[in-house]
Amino acid sequence: MSFVLQDNKRNHPRGRARNGFLRSGIPNGLDWALLSYALLAVAAGVAYTALKIESDYRQTLTLERNVVRGATASLQTGTLAMLDDGVGAALAGAGEVRATGGLDRVPDARLRAQLRRQLTGGTFVRGIFIADQGRFVLVTRQHTLDLRTDPRWLAAATGATTWVGAPMREPGDPNAIVVPVARRTLTGPGTSGWAGALFDFTSLPKLYPQFGSPISELGLIASNGTVLVAAKGRHLDHYRGVSLAHNELWLRARATGTDTIVQGLGSAGNKEKIYGQAPVVGYPISVYAGQSLGAVLKDWRLRRRNDIEAATAFGALVLTLTAFLGHSMRALRMRERDYRTLFNNAKVAVFILEGDRIIEANRTVATMFGLGSEREAIGLTPWDLSPPVQPNGRPSRELARERLRTTALEGSSTFEWTHKRLDSGEPFPAEVDLSCLGASGTALALAVVHDLTERKRAEEELRVLSSELMHHEHEERRRVGRDLHDSTGQSLAALEIALSQLGRETDRLTPNGREQLRYCVRLAGQCSSEIRTASYLLHPPLLDELGLVSALEWLADGLRERSGIEVRLELPRAFERLAPEEELALFRVAQEALTNVHRHSESPWVLIRLSAQPQYIVLEIEDAGRGISRDVPGVGVAGMRERIRQFGGTLLVESPAGGGTLIRASLPRPRPIVEPIDPKVVAGA
């Protein structure tokens, strides 16, 4: 709240405060600053989004290259194991032939048995063969082929020590496609030939689960660029046997001579992809694995679109918030000016406390506390504006801090306080409304101070006037009571005596006259009794002569006789005399309370309790009647309260929901108890 009350540079005119960027199209300095910050935030958001998209793109490609590299390495290892298994078996068979003197020295049956015994590898090895000087022997799992000339597909094997042929149909099984792989070896004393195997690579797609990420294609390529096998997804495709001798991507990968990852058009298609290739050590074969670039970037494109949409939304939000903030700031400036005007023109003193220090004050503070200006109050504490000690005897510093703590816990509090003017040191009564505020984690309090000097003066005048009225009322009651007792009462007594004397001469009267005379005697006695009672009630002589306890006992006896209500007394046996005015005030409270019990409560009993406590004289009237309505506090309660208030006392009226009423009147006791109080309980008639 404190920032709302800061000086607004002499309060801009309303027209200028409302003249903002959104209304007139001409931005002021603050609007330019907000607009600049908004554009800077939007530019930063765009730059951040672009960098994020670029980083995500590179990271996506890097991750996919690693996947392709891993797939290539796995395929390379598996292919090498397959080739070594099949060619190794053929070389072992050639070794046995060489040990027996050559291919022509081994009987046909024995030769076929030896080769079949070596054909124990995986099912991907369809057969093994040996070729030497015009003889060719091939053993498959179902067939045996023994020729005196090399087959046409083997005749192309020249020059290299290891040879790979093109994919072909398996001899003896035209439904199977195999790839021949052979290696030169000694087949007899002084003779050399080929030992090789026919490989079925149709199981290549089974390697896909090992890669952990979908690879769009993988396969084997001979050193001359012929595709030996190509698998797309989990199925073989029709690119087997196609030559890639002129494919730019394959040529780039082959040029490195080692494991490589390149990006471009695929080896078996025209789609751009990430391509990995690695040579199989010891064989003129390379393995490859590829992933479609479109599949790689599918999720990235989705993330890019989301990032762009988020950046666009962020920019729109920033611009919208900037426009709203500009409008709010202008409205805030107008309200700040209005609040400042209201704050300074308030007829009560208002200041804001941070902790126990004043940080803001209005102009009335200067007038009320005798300061040169309201700024002189900043930095002061509440006890700096108060006398050292409050009327209740507590130091102002201690009591002020206690009030601040209470307000912090309860949120607000209202209490009376004695302040002083700093120019003259003159104290004055005040009422303080204290409210707890909060701003940026700082404990603030708003104090509104009302000067009660005029009200207290009026209350004192009213109290004096009320006291005088009650005093005159008391004197008038005393005079009327004395007159009734001394004149009218005496006259009625004389009349009663005269009538009694006349009654002794009734023998001269008729019976009717004698009855009328007796009636007049009774009526005179009744009037005399009522005059004495009225005189006592107007001003009981016992109150002046014997004190409050005796007067209360007489009051209880009168109520018991008139109403039949059980009156219970709890009165001290020995009770100190009070000032006559105080005893009369307590007597009138008891008199009014008992009258209400008689007329309104319908209670079967009433209790009168009088006690002397260390600091107070307490009179209590309690009954078990129907209680006093909360809306209508009861007959005479205001008068009772005013009588007690004249002497600095308090009157409490309690009426529980279950019924009954308790009236407690307390008067301050200025001196200590002189002699002990021994309460007695007098109940019943």
What pLDDT score was predicted for residue 197? 92
**Contact status, residue 151 vs residue 116, Cβ threshold 8 Å:** no
Q: Alpha-carbon distance 630 to 655, whole Å?
A: 8
- Where is 517: in which H helix or E strand? helix 511-538
- Tokens, residue 670: 């200025």
What pLDDT score was predicted for residue 530? 65
Q: Alpha-carbon distance 142 to 198, whole Å?
A: 13
pLDDT, average across residues 301-305: 90
What pLDDT score was predicted for residue 632? 46
Each residue's pLDDT tens digit, 380-432: 888 888 999 988 888 989 988 888 888 888 888 888 899 888 888 889 888 88
pLDDT, average across residues 434-459: 77
What pLDDT score was predicted for residue 507? 63
What pLDDT score was predicted for residue 222? 87
pLDDT, average across residues 123-140: 86
Written as one string, the DSSP assignment of 44-112 is HHHHHHHHHHHHHHHHHHHHHHHHHHHHHHHHHHHHHHHHHHHHHHHHHHHHHHHHTT-GGGS-HHHHH
Q: Alpha-carbon distance 514 to 505, whole Å?
A: 9
Q: Alpha-carbon distance 342 to 362, whole Å?
A: 9
**Contact status, residue 259 vs residue 73, Cβ threshold 8 Å:** yes
pLDDT band at 503 (very low <50, low <70, confident <90, very high): low
- Tokens, residue 258: 């080692």
Residue 671 in this model has a pLDDT that exceeds 90: no
* CA 137 vs CA 87, 109, 123, 158, 285: distances in Å: 15, 11, 20, 19, 25
Residue 607 in this model has a pLDDT that exceeds 90: yes
Higher pLDDT, 670 or 221: 221
What pLDDT score was predicted for residue 664? 92
pLDDT band at 672 (very low <50, low <70, confident <90, very high): very low
Which among 473, 368, 352 has a CA at the least distance from the CA of 430? 368
Pairing of strands 650-654, 605-612: unpaired
Higher pLDDT, 217 or 22: 217
Residue 440 in this model has a pLDDT that exceeds 70: no
Residue 474 in this model has a pLDDT that exceeds 70: no
pLDDT, average across residues 74-103: 85
What pLDDT score was predicted for residue 466? 66
Q: Is the CA virtual torsion 85, 86, 89, 90 positive or negative?
A: negative
Which among 616, 620, 625, 611 has a CA at the least distance from the CA of 663? 620
pLDDT, average across residues 198-207: 77
pLDDT, average across residues 59-75: 83
pLDDT band at 610 (very low <50, low <70, confident <90, very high): very high
What pLDDT score was predicted for residue 682? 37
What pLDDT score was predicted for residue 182? 92
**Contact status, residue 606 vs residue 594, Cβ threshold 8 Å:** yes
Residue 127 in this model has a pLDDT that exceeds 70: yes
What pLDDT score was predicted for residue 6? 36
pLDDT, average across residues 553-565: 83
Each residue's pLDDT tens digit, 318-335: 888 888 887 777 777 777
Residue 17 in this model has a pLDDT that exceeds 70: no
Residue 307 in this model has a pLDDT that exceeds 80: yes
pLDDT, average across residues 48-65: 87
Residue 258 in this model has a pLDDT that exceeds 70: no
pLDDT band at 606 (very low <50, low <70, confident <90, very high): very high
Residue 619 in this model has a pLDDT that exceeds 90: yes
pLDDT band at 132 (very low <50, low <70, confident <90, very high): confident
pLDDT band at 237 (very low <50, low <70, confident <90, very high): low
Residue 439 in this model has a pLDDT that exceeds 60: no
pTM of the model: 0.44
Higher pLDDT, 347 or 557: 557
The lowest-confidence range among 196-205, 379-388, 576-585, 671-680 is: 671-680
Q: Alpha-carbon distance 194 to 13, whole Å?
A: 106
pLDDT band at 681 (very low <50, low <70, confident <90, very high): very low
pLDDT band at 666 (very low <50, low <70, confident <90, very high): very high
What pLDDT score was predicted for residue 387? 92
pLDDT band at 259 (very low <50, low <70, confident <90, very high): low
pLDDT, average across residues 6-25: 39
Please state, rounded to an integer, the average pLDDT across all residues of the chain.
78
Higher pLDDT, 478 or 338: 338
Range among 61-65, 233-237, 394-398, 507-511 with highest mean pLDDT value: 394-398
pLDDT, average across residues 337-354: 76
pLDDT band at 4 (very low <50, low <70, confident <90, very high): very low
pLDDT, average across residues 136-142: 87
pLDDT, average across residues 502-509: 65
pLDDT band at 477 (very low <50, low <70, confident <90, very high): low
Residue 293 in this model has a pLDDT that exceeds 50: yes
pLDDT band at 677 (very low <50, low <70, confident <90, very high): very low
Residue 270 in this model has a pLDDT that exceeds 80: no
- Tokens, residue 394: 């507590």
Question: Which amino acid is it at 80?
Answer: L
What pLDDT score was predicted for residue 684? 38
